[in-house]
């Protein structure tokens, strides 16, 4: 395949940046999107040019680090797929592909396609955990969890923290991510002790990071590689408002 790539190049956090055009030849349709980028970077290195910086780690759709806004959509044209799991057969010979970093004030661009997603880490640090000493694994039957709750919690826990929801949202809102993290613990017995505090603190942290407020467009869920449902946002709203109304903190 021959392709034209328009890739966002930006030297560092403070520089302006612009779209640069690259021509690529001999790309196999079986390559993954990131392998195609590897080829492009080899080519740039041979030409004594700076290779394109992009985030990636597992390349199997579980770490959430690959973050590319491809032809106007986070993680490209497929649904339920992260950039690393996207293959060149999803494109046609001769295509022009525009690749940009996630755009959000809370995700500043560090270099080229790499953005700083530590705002997500700070949301998790605010309450996305269970502070118990786990000790020995206890007998599974001593802590009954209804099957539906287990399934729902599992679906929420599938969130890989990639940030595509923020990237897709016209408001750069982090509510799908935050709600998935609040939900997975709110649904399980282990999460009950800190349930209210968690909702209050994680939402407060989310707001302070400069993410927008959800307008329920559903773009997040449509672009999420793990197809996290908007039901989680509704649950987060219930958790948060319920906690605010009933918690002992004034």
Partner 1 sequence: MSWLTQTLSSSIGKKLIMALTGLFLCTFLIVHMIGNLQLFKSDEGLAFNTYTVFMTTNPFIKTISYGLYAFILIHAFDGLYLAYINQKARAKKYAKVNNQSTWASRNMGILGTVLLVYLVVHMGDFWYEYKFGHLPFKEYTIDLSEGTIIDTRQMPDGFMLNSKIEERLSDDNKSKTVIVKDLYQEAESSFANPLLVLFYILGMAAVSFHLVHGFRSAWQTLGANHPKYNPLFNFLGVWLFAIIIPIAFAAMPVYFFLKQL
Residues in the site for ligand SF4, rule: CB under 6 A? 64, 159-165, 176-177, 180, 224-226, 228
CB of 231 to partner 1, least distance (A): 5
Residue 122 engages partner 1 in binding (rule: CB under 8 A): no
Cα 239-74-33 angle, rounded to 5 deg = 135
- CA dist 217 → 106, 134, 158 (Å): 20, 39, 21
Query: 158 to each of 59, 149, 178, how far by Cα in Å?
Result: 16, 14, 13
Hey, which residues between 151 and 170 contact partner 1 (CB under 8 A)?
168, 170
Q: Residues 3 to 32: which contact ligand FES by CB under 6 A?
A: none
For the chain, give the number of residues: 250
Residue among 28 and 118 whose Cβ is closer to partner 1: 118
User: Does residue 82 touch ligand FES according to CB under 6 A?
Assistant: yes
CB 128 within 8 A of CB 239: no
Residue 126 to residue 209: CA distance in whole angstroms: 12
Three-state secondary structure call for residue 218: coil
Torsion sign, CA atoms 24, 26, 31, 35: negative
- Using rule CB under 8 A, residue 217 touches partner 1: yes
Decide if residue 1 touches partner 1 (CB under 8 A): no
Please report whether residue 116 would count as binding partner 1 according to CB under 8 A.
no
- Binding partner of 235, given partner 1, ligand SF4, ligand FES, none, CB within 5-8 angstroms per partner class: partner 1
Beta bridge partners of 87: 32
Residues lying near ligand FES in the complex (CB under 6 A) are found at 56-59, 61-66, 82-84, 160
Residues that bind partner 1 (CB under 8 A): 6, 8, 19, 69, 71-73, 98, 100, 103-106, 109, 168, 170-173, 175, 203-204, 206-207, 210-219, 222-223, 230-231, 233-238, 240-241, 244-245, 249-250
């Amino acid at each position: 395949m021959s392709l034209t790539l328009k890739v966002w190049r930006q030297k560092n956090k403070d520089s302006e940046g612009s779209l640069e055009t690259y021509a690529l030849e001999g790309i196999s349709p079986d390559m993954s999107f990131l392998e195609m980028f590897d080829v492009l970077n080899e080519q740039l290195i041979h030409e004594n040019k700076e290779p394109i910086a992009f985030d990636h780690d597992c390349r199997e759709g579980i770490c959430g680090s690959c973050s590319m806004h491809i032809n106007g959509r986070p993680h490209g044209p497929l649904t339920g797929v992260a950039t690393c799991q996207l293959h060149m057969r999803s494109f046609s010979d001769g295509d022009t592909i525009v690749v940009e970093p996630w755009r959000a004030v809370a995700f500043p661009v560090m270099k080229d396609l790499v953005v700083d997603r530590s705002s997500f880490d700070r949301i998790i640090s605010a309450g996305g955990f269970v502070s118990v000493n786990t000790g020995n694994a206890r007998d599974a039957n001593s802590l009954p969890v209804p099957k539906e709750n287990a399934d729902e919690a599992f679906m929420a826990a599938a969130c890989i923290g990639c940030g595509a929801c923020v990237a897709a949202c016209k408001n750069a809102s982090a509510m799908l991510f935050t709600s998935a993290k609040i939900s997975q613990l709110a649904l399980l017995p282990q999460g009950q002790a800190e349930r209210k505090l968690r909702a209050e603190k994680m939402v407060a942290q989310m707001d302070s990071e400069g993410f927008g407020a959800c307008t329920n467009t559903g773009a997040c869920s449509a672009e999420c590689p793990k197809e996290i449902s908007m039901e989680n946002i509704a649950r987060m709203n219930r958790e948060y408002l319920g906690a605010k109304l009933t918690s002992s903190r004034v």
